[in-house]
Structures are given as structure tokens and as C-alpha cells.
Amino acid sequence: MAARRLVYPFVLALVACSSPLLAEAPVSAPAVAKSIAAPRGVRTSRVGDPTALARTVTRLKPLHEPLGKPRPGDWLAQHKEAGQLFRQYLRERPVTPTGKRSTIYVQPLGEFTAAERRIVELSAEYLSIYFTRQVKILKDLPPDVVPARARRVHPDWKVKQILSTYVLNDVLKPRLPSDAAAYIAFTASDLWPGEGWNFVYGQASLRGRVGVWSIHRNGDPEESEERFRVCLRRTLKTATHETGHMFSIRHCTAYECNMCGSNHREESDRHPLYLCCECHAKVCWATNAEPVARLRRLAKFSRTQRLKSELEYFEKAIERLESGR
Ligand SMILES: [Zn+2]
Ligand SMILES: [Zn+2]
């Protein structure tokens, strides 16, 4: 038996990270390659109206299935979590992408195939719609920003991996733009977070506003149109779920929801890309998004990208909110 712990964390969220290199002079963030503007008319300096959003929770509730008993190996079978309703979230003084730090930055890191690059661009577009924020895609950082000491070949699988903590602490943190609500690296390389671990899909520093997600294990988007959509849906889930954590949203334990914790791939594929009524209100409050306008933008994206189940949900949610006006 190998001494190494055979654990397969879905994603890791670090509350605090530290690195001796943080003391060095900061390096500037790469230039912007593409900018996706926030929807017009949204005041990103403010949070939303909690009373109006509490009403949306009631209106949308019938559309959501309460989370059943966890299956063996599921996140909630192994982690005790209390959950977080909208009213509890408001009491927790959440970190919000308001004021000066309101732009989300996407940082491509390393090499990508054409289809992988398209997934990264679509994820940036989706983040902009989901969080009603300006998103800037920065110019690529070359693979050699991660030195040999932060790389390995997995001893059993022979897969090349890069050290996620190095990316967070030594690549992203020194380059964090001063107006960044979140600074997120996407890589096509596999990630591992250090001694004792096999791999991670992604890792985020909740207080540091930095995160790194790998699309390596999301399937090969070059293979077929269907595989492209599988890879896209998985990447969108991770990107929005983890960015949600960066804005103080905890794991959902009330409904099937994008903010549910996932312990393994099957569980993650089971959870929807959309949010439950409680978490929807949190995102709308934190980003000052008008709920119906946001849902319309999400529906449009889902229609264009043929994300069928998501489109069906968004259309039903719009109908319910509009009928309650
Ligand atoms: Zn999570
Ligand atoms: Zn939820």
C-alpha cells in the first residue's frame, strides 16, 4: 500500500494562504486580451434590495427539489454542514463584488487546444452574466511561470501536474489587479495541491480573491459536440460555484443547487448549473442584479450553447417571477 493518502477532493477552498514570496515586489498583471462589459444600467457599487429578493425566494421555491438523503460517498455523507439560507447569508456580512473591487479577471495559464480556449472564453462570458459584472480575460501566462519545482509527473498515472498552491500564492497573488473582485486562472494542465494528494479540480483562497480551475478532467471538448457541451457545463459549474464561495456563499444543503458540495464527479454531474431559490437571492443581492433580467441573460446563453435543462429551468423561473409582479 502506498503511504500516500488516496483522496480525491473535488475542489479545495483555502481560507487563508501564505507564501514567503508574497513579501517580494508585486509584478504587474498581464494586459487585457478581451473585456466583457457588465450589463448596462447595473449599479455595481451597491447591493440589492433584501426585502424584494426575499419575495423571489418564496416565488421560486416550488421549482426546487429539496436535497434528499446523501448517497454513500457524497459530500454530505462525509461532511457535516449547517447550510445557509438567504436571511442567514445577509447576517454574515458577506464579501461582495461592490465598490472598487468589482471586476472579475480570468487568467489563461499555459497551453490550450482551440476547443479548450473556447471553453475558457465561454466561461468568462458566463461569469459576467452570472455575477452581472465586467469580466476581463487577460493575455495568457506562459507555462514557464510555473517552475520545475512546482511541477511533477504523478507517480502512478504518469500525468503531468502543476502545484495549485504555487499558482495561487506565487503566480496570481503578486499579480492581483487592484480592482479585482476575483482573479481566476484557468489551465488545461492537471493540478495537485501538495504532498498526500492525487489531484484537485480547482482550488480557491476565499479571502485572497484568487482561484485556479483545471479543465483537464472535464472531458475532451475536441471529441464531439456532445463532449464539448459536457466539458463546458462542468467548467461553468466549477467556475460559478467557486466564485460564489469567494462572495461568502456557503454550500447549499437545502435543495439541488449549483452551490451544493461535491465529493466526486457523479455527484457534481448530478447537481444543476442553476441556483436554488435561496442561493439565487444571495447572488442577486451581492451583485445588485435584477432577478428577471439576469435570468433572461442566462436563458439566452443557454439557448445559444444548447444547454437544454438549464434553458428549461430559466424559462420556468422567469415565468414564475413575472406572474408574481
Ligand atoms: Zn464548494
Ligand atoms: Zn442553493
pLDDT greater than 90 at residue 256: yes
pLDDT on residue 20: 33
- Residue range 209-224, pLDDT digits in tens: 999 999 999 999 999 9
Query: What torsion do the CA atoms of 55, 58, 59, 63 make, to the nearest 10 degrees?
Result: 150
The Å distance, Cα 84 to ligand 2 centre, comes to 8
Distance CA 258, CA 251 (A): 9
Instruction: Give the pLDDT band (50/70/90) at residue 26.
Output: low
Burial of 157 (0-12, 13-18, 19+ CB in 10 A): exposed
Ligand with smallest separation from the Cα of 254: 2
The Å distance, Cα 282 to ligand 1 centre, comes to 15
Q: Average the pLDDT over each of 80-89, 148-157, 316-325 and give the range with the smallest value.
A: 316-325
Residue 253 to residues 33, 90, 315: CA-CA distances in angstroms? 38, 17, 24
The cell 507555462 sits on which residue? 143
**What CATH class has 1-47+96-247?**
alpha beta
Ligand with smallest separation from the Cα of 84: 2
The Å distance, Cα 281 to ligand 2 centre, comes to 9
Q: Note residues around ion ligand 2 (Cβ under 5 angstroms).
A: 252, 257, 259, 276, 279
The Å distance, Cα 240 to ligand 2 centre, comes to 13
Instruction: Give the pLDDT band (50/70/90) at residue 320.
Output: very high
Instruction: Give the pLDDT band (50/70/90) at residue 11.
Output: low
Q: Show me where the domains of the chain are located.
A: 1-47+96-247, 49-94+249-325
Q: 179 near 102, Cβ under 8 Å?
A: yes
The Å distance, Cα 186 to ligand 2 centre, comes to 25
Instruction: Give the pLDDT band (50/70/90) at residue 22.
Output: very low
The Å distance, Cα 159 to ligand 2 centre, comes to 35
Stronger pLDDT, 147 or 248, i.e. the higher one: 147
Stronger pLDDT, 42 or 250, i.e. the higher one: 250
Instruction: Give the pLDDT band (50/70/90) at residue 325.
Output: low
pTM of the model: 0.90
